[in-house]
Chains A and B, each alone.
Chain A
């Protein structure tokens, strides 16, 4: 490669964080080459499945109502992560979320009022019109218009590093040099072998991860993440930590996205394959609890569970993508779901008998609860007694993984505690710095946008410095 054909900044990845980095680097005057592992029609990684950005704001702002101040946002993060976060980086993300939307709009992103069925985040989250794929399309268009070079089907297998600095990336047999590099190639949730190893074998001799479905992209194999960790980059996070929700067992193996969720758990009961209940279905509002149910189902035998409701609940939850298994008797429902009818009917009868009379209201934490059954159901407990009955099989659905590379406020990759001068990381590959575990809607995009923009800017600066060094040497 002659020096003039070497891009200033190489961006590895094609999702939100990668695109933010590419756009920022280009705006700072750098020449940019972006490598997306996926073919064009699958571009965008998990970002294509997202729908909103959690935004700090001190007053109502276009699509956002009321206020969501920094402190409240931070407390929310602290709560969901159980303290496994980095306050400095978290607050940086929070503040950036209050300032980035005009920049996003300039690159063609449109926002829309909260979706019906998502009013609980009307105050905190700004929704992308058309969802994440529309955002990804807008960023790719803007990047192309600005002269960012884009290559699809270009998965990077390894990097060439020298003294903690980026030298080149390898796509197959092709060596691609650049003056600086941003890694934004996602987590490893699509790598089933890695998930299998991370989750290991349980006490029943099962490999639980074999029964996981992947809600997101099929292209996040984590090859680069693995390479970096083996190359000595400082890592952060626990490989078994993943955002995991209970989704329809009939969902596709990959890319099921948002529509595969099952929202009727809190209205009925959930049993495992032995037809036994195993957790309080009415602990809290479903949007606050859905993220723990993936893990709960993962702990059940065969990693499967069944959400059971009766006719009273129809029309009171977001419509599911697949129709439920429907039966006029509990025995028939058990048979259709492949459960032991005797055990199932007993579980339902015990639960029904334990339901205390109350005033059902699925919009508040009502007083309908059970007495004398274990586990208890603490809200919205009504007998399952009105045919037709419906059952939905549930599986754990992995959204993304948390294992990543340790960064500072400049998004620099670290080796032995020392920041690299020209290698940066953004998005899922470093989200674990802020989000050690747990999740709250729209925070992944907030981290990706904030650190993508920082990484792009820093990479452009690093490239300029390198070019200066090259000229000085010549």
Chain B
């Protein structure tokens, strides 16, 4: 252990001249130096091939590698140096801790980065605020009693322009905050120019969740050393469900402004079909992810981030639940309250996008693009054995 301590000290001293590493970043640096001398895990994912292109690990390298890691867990269960070995290597956990710092360090505006520290609370407060706001609005706008003034017509409760004026600024702010955050990250990891091939490959890796396949196609680890494809599948349900819901909203917006067709739309219409399909995906996916998250091996990943993970999952689940409930009950007496619930959840989801688990998709995609660029560049190390 003395050697390891001195190694850590040296890494810190080395780093001090360049950019001070946080404790979690130093741990990743320590681990990567050991991994780089072993390399058994090269076939699992992109992290280890990216590691072999380096001899030293600075702050930017560490944040890049941490976000390239998908927390599939393969390298933990396969590691000859994992605890109880005195090297005590736990790559997925160390990477997860740094990712948490990446999200908060690169958050925009910087002050809001703190929201990650107690993200479960952040999400809960946002949800409570969203629900409260819309329930109160409902009471205010409808007056006493939740009577459906017109079957299925949401705008008879919340006028269209009122909804746009509430959601558009929140959504645009979220998009801006995420863009500015990832732009700073992108500059720090100095990726170089993206070719069409690199961009296409990265996009494919994002859309297919390539690195949850374990490198051999049998999937990643969850509860133990056995492989499972369910995490990848449930993530696909979640991601594509989310995208379908997003598409439903997009199509409805076009209908409204371009074609002048106002909601409500018929059950067989494109926005409703997309929304229902997406809603079902967003029901199955997050439910499965939550189940896997509960069963996940405690050493795989950072337990302290579970409130963030689960907060986001639950928010997605509530979005689809309330959305589908609204569709089912839109012609009934409860439409008003169902609408308020759904809008409250969606508002909380949008508001917390740049300060919650959602950010992982943005930073991971950026890291994957950097990897696709980097692996096309010549390797300037000349290690003798090759």
A interface with B by C-beta (< 8 Å): 41-42, 48-49, 51, 110, 112-113, 115-120, 127-134, 137, 141, 250, 252, 255, 257-261, 263, 266-267, 286-287, 314-323, 362-363
Query: CB distance B38 to A130 under 8 Å?
Result: no
Among residues of A, the one whose C-beta sits closest to the C-beta of B40 is A131
- Of the candidates A115, A133, A134, A315, the one whose C-beta lies within 8 Å of that of B39 is A115
Query: CB distance B10 to A133 under 8 Å?
Result: no
12 additional A-B residue pairs with CB within 8 Å, beyond A113-B43, A129-B216:
A110-B43, A129-B44, A131-B41, A257-B81, A316-B383, A317-B384, A317-B385, A320-B37, A321-B37, A321-B38, A323-B10, A363-B386
Query: CB distance B226 to A263 under 8 Å?
Result: no
B interface with A by C-beta (< 8 Å): 3, 7, 10, 33-34, 36-44, 49, 52, 55, 74-75, 77-81, 83-87, 215-216, 218, 225-226, 381-386
Query: CB distance A263 to B55 under 8 Å?
Result: no
Query: CB distance A130 to B86 under 8 Å?
Result: no
Once A48-B80, A110-B216 are accepted as A-B contacts, the answer to whether A322 and B38 lie under 8 Å apart by CB is: no
Query: CB distance B3 to A250 under 8 Å?
Result: yes
A224 to B37, CA, bound (A): 34
A62 to B89, CA, bound (A): 31
Residues in B neighbouring A250, C-beta threshold 8 A: 3
- Of the candidates A110, A255, A266, A363, the one whose C-beta lies within 8 Å of that of B80 is A255
Residues in B neighbouring A141, C-beta threshold 8 A: 225-226
Once A120-B385, A363-B384 are accepted as A-B contacts, the answer to whether A319 and B80 lie under 8 Å apart by CB is: no
Residues in A neighbouring B218, C-beta threshold 8 A: 110
Query: CB distance A112 to B384 under 8 Å?
Result: no
Q: How far is the CB of B83 from chain A (nearest CB, A)?
A: 8
Among residues of B, the one whose C-beta sits closest to the C-beta of A320 is B37
11 residue pairs of the A-B complex, CB under 8 angstroms, read A41-B83, A115-B40, A119-B386, A120-B385, A132-B80, A133-B77, A134-B74, A252-B87, A315-B382, A317-B384, A318-B384
Query: CB distance A255 to B85 under 8 Å?
Result: yes
Query: CB distance B80 to A131 under 8 Å?
Result: yes
- Of the candidates B3, B42, B74, B382, the one whose C-beta lies within 8 Å of that of A115 is B42
Query: CB distance A130 to B383 under 8 Å?
Result: no
A321 to B33, CA, bound (A): 6
- Of the candidates B3, B77, B87, B216, the one whose C-beta lies within 8 Å of that of A137 is B77
A49 to B55, CA, bound (A): 23
Query: CB distance A116 to B225 under 8 Å?
Result: no
Query: CB distance A51 to B40 under 8 Å?
Result: yes
A117 to B215, CA, bound (A): 19
Residues in B neighbouring A252, C-beta threshold 8 A: 85-87
Residues in A neighbouring B226, C-beta threshold 8 A: 141
- Of the candidates B49, B75, B77, B81, the one whose C-beta lies within 8 Å of that of A116 is B49
Residues in B neighbouring A259, C-beta threshold 8 A: 34, 37-38, 81
Query: CB distance B80 to A137 under 8 Å?
Result: no
Query: CB distance A130 to B74 under 8 Å?
Result: yes
A317 to B225, CA, bound (A): 33
Among residues of A, the one whose C-beta sits closest to the C-beta of B382 is A316
Q: How far is the CB of B1 from chain A (nearest CB, A)?
A: 9
A117 to B39, CA, bound (A): 9
- Of the candidates A41, A113, A319, A363, the one whose C-beta lies within 8 Å of that of B55 is A319
Residues in B neighbouring A134, C-beta threshold 8 A: 40, 74, 77-78
A259 to B4, CA, bound (A): 14
Query: CB distance A315 to B84 under 8 Å?
Result: no
Residues in B neighbouring A120, C-beta threshold 8 A: 385
Query: CB distance B78 to A49 under 8 Å?
Result: no
Q: How far is the CB of A118 from chain B (nearest CB, A)?
A: 6
Among residues of A, the one whose C-beta sits closest to the C-beta of B44 is A130
Question: Which 10 A-B pairs rank lowest in CB-CB distance, beginning with the nearest?
Answer: A112-B43, A131-B40, A130-B78, A259-B37, A134-B78, A321-B37, A110-B216, A259-B38, A137-B225, A129-B43
